[in-house]
Amino acid sequence: MALDDARIQALEKKAEAIRETILKMLVAAGSGHTAGPLGMADIFTSFYFEILKHHPANPEWEERDWLILSNGHIVPVRYATMAHAGYFPLAETLTLRKFGSRLQGHPERLRLPGIETTSGPLGSGLAQAAGMAYAFRMDGKKNRVYCITSDGEHDEGNTWEAIMFAGKNKLSNLTVVVDRNNIQIDGMTEDVMPLESLNAKYAAFNWHVLEVNGNDISAFIATVEEAKAIYEKPTVIIAHTIPGKGVPEIEFDYHWHGKPPTKEEAARFLKELRSAGGKVPHEYA
C-alpha cells in the first residue's frame, strides 16, 4: 500500500520532532548514546505511527504486534517515539537515566509498560523475538514480531544461534531489522569485525533478505509490507542508516556512538536539525 505524499511528509515531520526530543533527553541525562537513536528515528517513527498494530493506552493489548529492541542502548529513540505516540507524557522523557525514572538507561520490561523485554546486553533480543514468534505460531496467534538489532551485535554468537533457529523453524511471523549503520564503539564494523556479506549470510541461514535505505520512511514502510507477504521464511531487512542522522556535523562519526552532546553542542545540533527551523528553545540558546 503506497502512502500518499502528505502522509509521508507528516511522518517525516514526526521523525524530526522525535530527533529534537532525543537531543534534549540526552543533554538532560548527561550520558547515553547519540548516533544510533538519531539514525533510527525514521524507522521508529514508521513502526509506531504506521506499521505496528498497537494501543498506546493499552500496551498489553492481546492482539498487538510486538516490537523487540535487541540493541537496548538506542532506547532513547524508542522512549521519545513512545512519548510522541502517547504512551506517556513528553515531559517524562527528560527523566531518562535519572534515579527513580521508568526510563532506565537500558530498557526494562517491568519498569515501563510497552517495553516487551529487557535488553541492553547485546545479542539476546533476536532469540527472544524468535521464541515469541515460535510461541505465537504454536498457539495460532496472529501477532507479528518485529525485532530491531544493531549490526555490531552480529558479532555475538547468541545472535547467530537465533538466526539458525528462526531459519530452521521458518518463522515467517518474525521480521528482523538490522540497523546497518556500520559503526560500533571501537570503530567501523568492517574494521572491528567484518560482517559482510551480511545479506549472503542471512540468505545462507534460510532467511528472506531485503535491503532498504533506513532513513527513507516511504521505502522502509513499503519494505516491511513486502516482508509481511513472505510466508515461507523469516525476513531480515538490512536497513542502511546514517548514524547521527539529522545533525550533519556528527553523521557517520563513530565517536558519537556512545556519548551524549554537551549543552553547547546540543544547541548547535538543534539549530542544524531542520525541525528546529532555526528556533532554538531558550534553555539552549
Partner 1 sequence: MLNPAAKLIAEPFSAVVPKAPTRDGFGKGVVEAGKADKDLVVLCADLKESTRAEWFEKEFPTRFIEMGVAEQGMATVAAGMALAGKIPFIASYAAFSPGRNYEQIRTTIALNEVPVKICGMHAGVSVGPDGATHQMLEDIALMRALPKMIVINPCDAEEGRKAVVAAAKTPGPMYLRFGRAAVPTITTAETPFAIGKALTLWDPPAGGRKPQVTIFSTGSVTYNALSAARALDADGIGSIVVHVATIKPLDEAAILEAAKRTRRVLTVEEHQINGGFGSAIAEFLSEHCPVPVKRLGINDEFGQSGDPDELIEHYGLGASSIRHAAEVLIHSS
**Is the distance from CB of 52 to CB of 68 less than 8 angstroms?**
no
C-alpha cell at 184: 560500533
C-alpha dist (Å) from residue 81 to 91, 106, 161, 214: 13, 15, 30, 16
| Residue of the chain from 49, 87, 136, 202 that contacts partner 1 (CB under 8 A) | 136
CA distance 193 to 184: 10
| Residue of the chain from 161, 211, 226, 253 that contacts partner 1 (CB under 8 A) | 161
By CB under 8 A, tell whether 201 contacts partner 1: no
Report the nearest approach of partner 1 to the CB of residue 63 (Å). 13
C-alpha dist (Å) from residue 193 to 85, 151, 153, 175, 254: 37, 11, 11, 24, 15
At a CB cut-off of 8 Å and minimum separation 6, what does 137 contact?
Answer: 171, 173
CB closer to partner 1 out of 132 and 266: 132
CB closer to partner 1 out of 38 and 178: 178
| Residue of the chain from 11, 35, 130, 217 that contacts partner 1 (CB under 8 A) | 130
- The interface region with partner 1, picked from 153-161, 183-191, 206-214, 246-254 by CB under 8 A, is 153-161
By CB under 8 A, tell whether 120 contacts partner 1: yes
What part of residues 25-84 is at the interface with partner 1 (CB under 8 A)? Answer: 66
- The interface region with partner 1, picked from 23-31, 160-168, 197-205, 230-238 by CB under 8 A, is 160-168
| Residue of the chain from 12, 42, 116, 153 that contacts partner 1 (CB under 8 A) | 116
CA distance 73 to 32: 8
C-alpha cell at 73: 542502548
| Residue of the chain from 100, 157, 277, 278 that contacts partner 1 (CB under 8 A) | 157
CB closer to partner 1 out of 5 and 60: 60
Write phi, then psi, for 148 (nearest 5 degrees).
-100, 125
- The interface region with partner 1, picked from 51-59, 89-97, 113-121, 237-245 by CB under 8 A, is 113-121
| Residue of the chain from 6, 91, 138, 285 that contacts partner 1 (CB under 8 A) | 138
Report the nearest approach of partner 1 to the CB of residue 121 (Å). 5
Name the amino acid, one letter, at 61. W
Q: In angstroms, how far is the first alpha carbon of the chain from the final one?
A: 43
CB closer to partner 1 out of 80 and 162: 162
Pairing of strands 174-180, 183-184: unpaired
CB closer to partner 1 out of 114 and 244: 114
CA distance 121 to 108: 12
Report the nearest approach of partner 1 to the CB of residue 142 (Å). 13
**Is the distance from CB of 143 to CB of 136 less than 8 angstroms?**
yes
CA distance 6 to 9: 5
Residues forming contacts to partner 1 in the complex (CB under 8 A) are: 66, 108-110, 116-121, 123-124, 127-136, 138-139, 157-158, 161-162, 164-165
